[in-house]
Amino acid sequence: MKRGLLWLALCLLLSGVAFWMARDSAIRAIVQGWRAEARFLYGIWRAPEISWPETIRLAMPDGPRLATDVYRPAGAAASLPTLLVRLPYGKRRFGEVHRLIHSFVPRGYVVVVQDMRGRWASEGVFAPWPNAEPDGVATLDWIVAQDWSDGRVGTIGCSALGESQIALARARHPAHRAMVPMGAGGGLGTAEGLHGAFGFHTGGIPALAAALGWFAHSGGKTPDRMAPVPVDHATALRTLPLRDLVANVRPDPTDFEAMLDNFEDRDWHRANGYAANDDSFAAPALFVDSWFDGSVANSFALSRVVGRDAPAHLLVAPGTHCDFGGAFARGRIGDLPVTGPELDFLSVQASFLDHHLREGRAPELPPYRVYVLREDRWLDSATWPPAGTVAEVLYLSGADLTATAGDASDRSFTSDPTDPVPSLGGAFCCTGNPDLKPGPVDQRPIEGRGDLLTFTSAPLERPMRITGQVVARLQVSTDVPDTDLVLRLTDVAPDDQSLTIQDGALRLRYRNGFDAPDLMEPGRTYPVRIALQDIAWQVPAGHRVRLHVAGSSYPHLSRNLNGGHRPQDETVPHPARVTLHMGGEDAASVTIPVLPE
């Protein structure tokens, strides 16, 4: 205890003296880290119900030692259930860890926090997430051998802290009794054919801004490479070839290039810890996500995959990545007001964990509890989409969405990689770019562009409650061997405000599957299916729904240079002339899942 207090005092002194000396951004980042760690430990010292952390260098079977802190209730003598939190962001620097310790140790849990292999105070080489299962299993084995453990362990955390739980759960360790992965859709691999590893791709298109933001900030693979690097986003995002995006801003190795090169490889997804269809799970799961997280559709898929073997629940809030209460606090998400009741997420998590780790009363928790935007209420359902949901089909005809297919006709646009359609809102995370704001944002500034087609319905006679995935079925031809389609459904108010409901995209070489790339024959027409991310949204009576069809959304998604080569290696942009064929047989349509009043 005395040594801990001396260390805390030293941290405070050094950070206070050094901060004014910091001129270089890297030094400044180090000093800011010291200050964060000092504040973190000061918070522990100020909490009499939490013991000072015991720090262990836990050896893995292959040698590297992982820095591990144990937080116990002060004065606890009996063996207790444990919550394990593993992370790449610094075990004494990351705000979510502070929240979890202060929330669950006073509730009678031991909380064990561990820097992942190769990160911060842990030895080895980092990668997301090939070591999450073996290192997690070794840590579980160690926990259950301690005299303070009752043999029952849960896992909890958001984003990387959640994705690694899913990798660990594949091991079906008998002590792993429950998991709470939040904002963790990136834990999905090839399950349901989605190739969702790390949330790195949308429809086979790299999530450009998110990839740059995360790997520039957190991509270091060894403990001497933890400092984030400064990024000029406007310049860096234009980098060609794409594979140089991260290397141009941080010269040390990262896993960015591996994510690009192995997207199609099913075996790579499995070897790196991402969930596949034939994985089996034993730990009950409480998934938590937000409608405008970049991989919320993957969270629905994970709830189904895990739910085949174990109880699984999914809560979806109206917010953004790992920010489940922010929309309620601000009263809005993007340009959309949020006025409904906030869910007590901590209480739900605690009751779920108490039930599975302490034999507490089963929580009244359905398989799905989602917030319906615009209607501003929570919807409980045993299935997703909810029972009673019907498919409403609207056909693309001229510039309209109609109830019946019209005569055969075409509409075309030119997708120019040198002048991509700007991203306005939507579902994404982790960009580090303050100019990119997720959520439902008014799309009128881009709706007049010649490279974005719109199709709009008549005003609705009654409210349309959308619950599930909107799916477009199109007939497409182009004059290049590969290009992208980006779709967006919007809610158009009587004053013409056009708010994003949800979006989706597809790199057309993947129209037959992400493990079956197939270039297009220029001039030939191909059927294309594009699913938007899941959503629950009520479009009011008198509003219209509108479909966007474009070839880009930059910088949310990387540009397709349309040359038909490996996209990460291309440097020469080619404009693509894209034609939608409507009406007649196999008429282009959009299917909207609607839950009637």
Give the CATH number, domain containing residue 536: 2.60.120.260
Q: Residue type at 23?
A: R
Buried b (16+ CB within 10 A) or exposed e, 352-380: bbbbbbbeeeebebebbbbbbbbbeebbe
Asked whether residue 69 is assigned to any structural domain, the reply reads: no
How does DSSP classify residue 73? B
Buried b (16+ CB within 10 A) or exposed e, 241-257: bbbbbbeebbeebbbbb
Write out the two tokens for 31: 């000093």
* Percent of the chain predicted with pLDDT > 70: 95
Asked whether residue 104 is assigned to any structural domain, the reply reads: no
How does DSSP classify residue 139? H
Asked whether residue 302 is assigned to any structural domain, the reply reads: no
Dihedral sign, Cα of residue 558, residue 531, residue 592, residue 430: negative
3-state secondary structure of 317: strand
C-alpha closest to that of 519 among 472, 478, 469: 478
- The predicted pLDDT at position 22 comes to 42
Report residue 265's pLDDT band, with 50, 70 and 90 as the boundaries: very high
CA atoms of 564 and 567, how far apart (whole Å): 7
- The predicted pLDDT at position 381 comes to 99
Asked whether residue 139 is assigned to any structural domain, the reply reads: no
Asked whether residue 266 is assigned to any structural domain, the reply reads: no
CA atoms of 65 and 60, how far apart (whole Å): 6
442 phi/psi in degrees, rounded to 5 = -60, 125
Whether 9 shows a pLDDT value over 70: the answer reads no
pLDDT one-digit tens code per residue, 343-396: 999 999 999 999 999 998 989 999 999 999 999 999 999 999 999 999 999 999
Whether 6 shows a pLDDT value over 90: the answer reads no
* Percent of the chain predicted with pLDDT > 90: 90
Cβ 333 vs Cβ 319: under 8 Å:
yes
The C-alpha torsion from 74 through 78 and 79 to 80, rounded to 10°, is -60
Report residue 11's pLDDT band, with 50, 70 and 90 as the boundaries: low
CA distances to 39, 135, 460, 509, 566 from 21, in Å: 20, 39, 62, 53, 46
Give the mean pLDDT of 172-187: 99
- The predicted pLDDT at position 450 comes to 98
CA distances to 337, 384, 385 from 594, in Å: 22, 12, 9
pLDDT one-digit tens code per residue, 276-332: 999 999 999 999 999 999 999 999 999 999 999 999 999 999 999 999 999 999 999
Q: Mean pLDDT score of the chain, rounded to an integer?
A: 95
CA atoms of 98 and 45, how far apart (whole Å): 12
Residue found under tokens 């704001």: 437
Helix (H) or strand (E) holding 7: helix 2-19
pLDDT one-digit tens code per residue, 324-351: 999 999 999 999 999 999 999 999 999 9
Asked whether residue 148 is assigned to any structural domain, the reply reads: no
Asked whether residue 541 is assigned to any structural domain, the reply reads: yes
CA atoms of 429 and 202, how far apart (whole Å): 12
- The predicted pLDDT at position 434 comes to 82
Which range of 11-15, 16-20, 405-409, 517-521 scores highest in mean pLDDT? It is 517-521
pLDDT one-digit tens code per residue, 485-514: 999 999 999 999 999 999 999 999 999 999
Dihedral sign, Cα of residue 185, residue 554, residue 411, residue 489: positive
pLDDT one-digit tens code per residue, 559-591: 999 999 999 999 999 999 999 999 998 899 999
Whether 541 shows a pLDDT value over 60: the answer reads yes
Report residue 34's pLDDT band, with 50, 70 and 90 as the boundaries: confident
Count of domains forming the chain: 2
Give the mean pLDDT of 267-281: 98
- Other C-beta atoms closer than 10 Å to the C-beta of 42 total 14
- The predicted pLDDT at position 435 comes to 84
- The predicted pLDDT at position 18 comes to 44
Report residue 26's pLDDT band, with 50, 70 and 90 as the boundaries: low
Whether 12 shows a pLDDT value over 60: the answer reads no
Write out the two tokens for 522: 């220029």
CA atoms of 323 and 299, how far apart (whole Å): 15
Asked whether residue 349 is assigned to any structural domain, the reply reads: no
- Residue-number span of the structural domain to which 28 is assigned: 1-46
Give the mean pLDDT of 421-449: 94
- The predicted pLDDT at position 35 comes to 86
Cβ 213 vs Cβ 200: under 8 Å:
no
